[in-house]
Amino acid sequence: MTPLQTSSFSKFRGAEYSYLYNSKWLFLFSYGKPMEESDQHGQNRSQNNSSSHTGGGYGKNEDLYQFISGIRYQTDGGYKIGIMYNKFKTKRENSFSILVPIEKEFDKFTLNSSLIYKNSKNANDYYGMENAITYALNEDMYIRAIFNIDRDENKDHNYGYALSYSAIYKSTALFHITAARKDTPNYDDDLITASVSLLF
């Protein structure tokens, strides 16, 4: 899992309110029920479909929730700097996390960096950083490089690297390929994925 995934800023069912003030300040508040991992991975579809019609889906876990509040400021130099606070309760955790995202758009590329802190009541706290550079070859082709580093609950330092290429062909198809490597104290892993999506 990447630092952003570990932060527990996850998908949820609920409501969100955002307000942009003076084209500089963005305020965000959201509240809802965190989605189950099976929902995010497309499993237990029949249960999920039934839940969507009944408005439930958690049975005895109706007390699960996720509350997010955030502020983002855009400087005159084009930097977008924010801070987000996430209070959540899932089947496994009842804690909070903090995310500090930084974004800057240049002529040819965009820089994104996120600092992550996650409080843990049952283990050591989690610290991570996720960095991405997206370079536009033209209007339809992009290259993205990602570098991640974290210190997990076991106080181990983990590293992740990824390089991806995306291209849109005649506004009808999106081609995407990614090569990634994970470097941890316990094991290393390499991965290559490719996908094609049709655009309508």
- Sequence-distant (≥ 6) Cβ neighbours of residue 177 within 8 angstroms: 164, 165, 192, 193, 194, 195
pLDDT digits (tens, 9 = 90+) for 180-191: 999 998 888 999
Q: How many whole angstroms separate alpha carbon 114 and alpha carbon 83?
A: 10
Secondary structure (DSSP) of 16-53? EEEEEETTTEEEEEEEEEEPPHHHHTT-SHHHHHHHHH
Domains annotated for the chain, with CATH where assigned, are 3-198 (2.40.160.10)
User: Using alpha carbons only, how large is the chain's radius of gyration in Å?
Assistant: 19
Query: Which residue has better confidence, 158 or 200?
Result: 158
Between 3-7, 12-16, 48-52, 63-67, the lowest mean confidence (pLDDT) is in: 48-52
pTM exceeds 0.95, yes or no: no
Q: How many whole angstroms separate alpha carbon 119 and alpha carbon 96?
A: 6
- DSSP conformation class of 60: G
For residue 22, pLDDT beyond 60? yes
For residue 58, pLDDT beyond 50? no
Give the model's confidence band at 61: pLDDT under 50 very low, under 70 low, under 90 confident, else very high.
Answer: low
User: pLDDT value at position 44?
Assistant: 40
In the chain, % of residues over pLDDT 70 = 86
pLDDT digits (tens, 9 = 90+) for 133-167: 999 998 889 999 999 999 998 899 999 999 999 99
Torsion of CA 180, 78, 99, 26, to 10 degrees: -130
Give the model's confidence band at 25: pLDDT under 50 very low, under 70 low, under 90 confident, else very high.
Answer: very high
Q: How many whole angstroms separate alpha carbon 147 and alpha carbon 99?
A: 17
Give the model's confidence band at 50: pLDDT under 50 very low, under 70 low, under 90 confident, else very high.
Answer: very low
User: pLDDT value at position 37?
Assistant: 54
